[in-house]
Structure 1
Amino acid sequence: MLARQALRIAKPSVAGAAPAGARNMATLREIETRLKSVRNIEKITKSMKLIASTKLAKAQRALQAGKEYGLANSELFQHAPAESAGKRKLFVVISSDKGMCGGIHSSVSKATRREFAEKDSDLDKESPIAVIGDKSKSQLSRALPNNLLLTFNQIGRDIPTFADAAGVADLILKSGVEYDSVAIVYNKFVSAISYESAIVEVETATSLKESPGFRAYEMEDDVTSDLAEFAFANAIYAALVEGHACEISARRNAMDNASKNAGDMIGNLQLKYNRGRQAAITNELVDIITGASAL
């Protein structure tokens, strides 16, 4: 009696169960739906690639103009080198708020973490960090949460301007943070398909005042402080435009690779769909021929 009850309970589930292996078998409708979604993704990535390609030429022109600011700074610091710098260094990390551009943001974050991780370095481990861009902010907030001092966003949505850089420099100087030197971490534009992280040192008003090149002349304190502030804004602007060009070129390359991968996936799915459709038609023909033979 118990065996009959168990058999009676098991019958509905057995009758309604799918055949073995059907759970992992992709149906034609599922493949067709996936094909449609991948084609839509391919259209989006191709459109983003075209937009990035049109923006890249404008970003490269701004890069050439921004490099003049960086060259002026390097010439100034070359003729007035600082004798010594303290251990407390302010890091200005430059990235952006947008994603889908490869390893642009992780590149500067890793470079900053390497500076703090070096055991033989004289760097103060409590050195402050100012971050431009939400992407690197989220990365550094997990690795170095106690060092984050200031964060900036909505900068560089279009081509960065000197006014953006001057605003960032003014807020950092007015924040009252104490530091002995400044290091700007940014992405250096190598070519349209490559970039690398770089760190540029910027001298402060105190280091400029104590340098042999400036001590040879009699200057007022305001002149040195204004020059140091202007050099700081120059360095930030040069790094902003270079990082922006790296971001646009990396986004174009990323969208190009994504479009190629989507095209390969569409080809594989289309082949699988054709094979499944052919197998379904063959099975239907076999059933018709078998039925006609039986009659």
Structure 2
Amino acid sequence: MLSRAARPALRAGAAVATRPAPSTAATFATLREIEGRLKSIRNIEKITKTMKIVASTKLHRAQRAMTESRNYGQTSNEVFEAAETKPLEGEGKKKLVVVCSSDKGLCGGIHSGLSRYIRRKTAEAGPGTFDLVILGEKCKAQLQRTNAKDIVLSFAGVGRDIPTFADAQAIADQIVMLSGDYSDIEIVYNKFINATSYEPTAIEAFSEEAIAASPNFSAFEVDEEIIANMREYALANSLFWALSEGHACEISARRNAMDNASKNAGEMINKYQILFNRTRQAVITGELVEIITGATASEDM
């Protein structure tokens, strides 16, 4: 005979016996699925936490390189501001826009922000009004859907490490050798505001004709070779500044993205852990009910 404490469970078992019993195999399969998902989410959480730590370590170096690169770009801008250099507006001449992105992902919408800026600029100025030089595969893949005809030059392998002036100089050499006659060059990059925010910004890089026509330059007799070298050097300075700022923004955005991903993974782990515990408890309760029901049936026999 069973004790009085077991009689409520007997009544519950009798009530359950009148309904179709759920498949125990299906319940165990569900438990295995939940356990597998928990394991995969925990692995993802480990990866995102590791990537966040790596990005946090790289951010300080990237910010220091960004601060040093500003001396190059801002000094060139001060020279052209003192010379009162302005873009030339020539009929039939296009503008060249250089987009500074990278090849790496997992950093939020930092690359899509640049692509949206270019698409908005295309909608305002009209298609075919400027050509594109794209640094990095991310923006190239996005802009090929809408501005494929405007892309005249692209570079891969950008963003693997902190940009150097030698990298910027090599890119400037290729841009200077383009066959198009451009009225102006504009460099679009992500400007670093703080560790959590950035915005697409443009830097003017003037053509040789614009530099030669500057009011405070045209008053002196300057060799054309010097102007060409000055223009290429100023372009390299601006590219170095833009690449360094963009790299710092990318590292900061990746750290924030991995931090958010780790938090989301933690929330999912908690939810699936509660679901796993409830499902496991339901399996144990069902087995107890089956045992008690079987004992009751044996007594009746």
TM-score over 0.5 (shorter chain): yes
Distance in 1 between residues matched to 2:253 and 2:276, nearest whole Å: 34
In the alignment, which of 241, 261, 266 is matched to residue 258 of structure 1?
261
Name the counterpart of 2:295. Answer: 292
- Counterpart of 2:246 (choices 224, 236, 243) is 243
Between Structure 1 and Structure 2, whose CA radius of gyration is higher?
Answer: 2
Q: CA deviation at 1:126?
A: 4.0
1:96 maps to amino acid: S
What's the TM-score once normalised by structure 1's chain length?
0.89
Distance 1:192 1:58 in 2: 13
Following TM superposition, by how much is the alpha carbon of 1:82 offset from its aligned partner in structure 2, in angstroms? Answer: 3.0
Are residues 280 and 265 of structure 1, via their aligned partners in 2, closer, same or farther at CA, if it must alter by over 3 Å?
A: same
The aligned amino acid for 2:191 is: K
User: How far apart, CA to CA, are the structure 2 residues paired with 1:138 and 1:25?
Assistant: 45
In the alignment, what sits opposite 2:58? 55
Unpaired runs of 5+ residues, structure 1, are: 1-17
Could you tell me which runs of 5 or more consecutive residues in structure 2 were left unpaired when the two chains were aligned.
Answer: 1-20
- Cα deviation 1:96-121 (Å, max 9, x = unaligned): 00100001111111111111110xx4
CA drift of 1:156 comes to: 2.6
Greater alpha carbon shift after TM alignment, 263-272 vs 65-74: 65-74
Q: Secondary structure at the match of 1:160?
A: coil
Pick aligned residue for 1:173 from 176, 180, 185: 176
| Correspondence for 2:114 | 108
Query: 2:175 is aligned with what amino acid?
Result: I
Find the aligned partners of 1:140 and 1:156 in 2 and give their Cα distance: 18
Selected match of 1:198 from 172, 182, 201:
201
1:145 partner letter: A
Aligned length: 274
- CA RMSD after TM alignment: 2.0
Show CA shifts across 1:154-186 (max 9, x none). Answer: 123100000000000001111222211001010
Q: Tell me the SS of whatever aligns to 2:84.
A: coil
- State how 1:95-134 maps to structure 2 within 5 Å: 95-118=101-124, 121=125, 125-134=128-137
Tell me whether 1:210 sits opposite 2:208 in the alignment. no
Question: 1:41 matched to which residue of 2?
Answer: 44
The answer (yes or no) to whether the contact 1:155–1:164 under 8 Å persists in 2 is no
Aligned to 2:9: none
For each residue in 1:59-112, what CA deviation from the matched residue of structure 2 results, as whole angstroms up to 9, or x when unmatched? 000010011111112101211223552251100000000100001111111111
Alpha-carbon distance change, 291 to 93 in structure 1, aligned in 2, over 3 angstroms = same
Structure ranking higher on relative contact order (CA contacts 8 Å, 6+ apart): 2
User: Paired residue for 1:76, among 76, 79, 91?
Assistant: 79
Distance in 1 separating the partners of 2:86 and 2:247: 33
Following superposition, the deviation at residue 239 of structure 1 comes to: 0.1
- Tell me which residue corresponds to 1:92: 98
Task: Trace 1:142-161 onto structure 2 (pairs within 5 A).
Answer: 142-161=145-164
> Structure 1 counterpart of 2:110, which letter?
I
CA distance in 2, matches of 1:78, 1:23: 74
Taking structure 2 as the reference length, the TM-score comes to 0.87
Identical aligned pairs, as a percentage? 53
Amino acid of the structure 2 residue aligned with 1:198: T
Would the aligned equivalents of 1:188 and 1:242 in 2 still touch at CA under 8 Å? yes
Kept in 2: contact 1:189–1:242 (CA 8 A): yes
Conserved? CA contact 1:89–1:124, under 8 Å: no
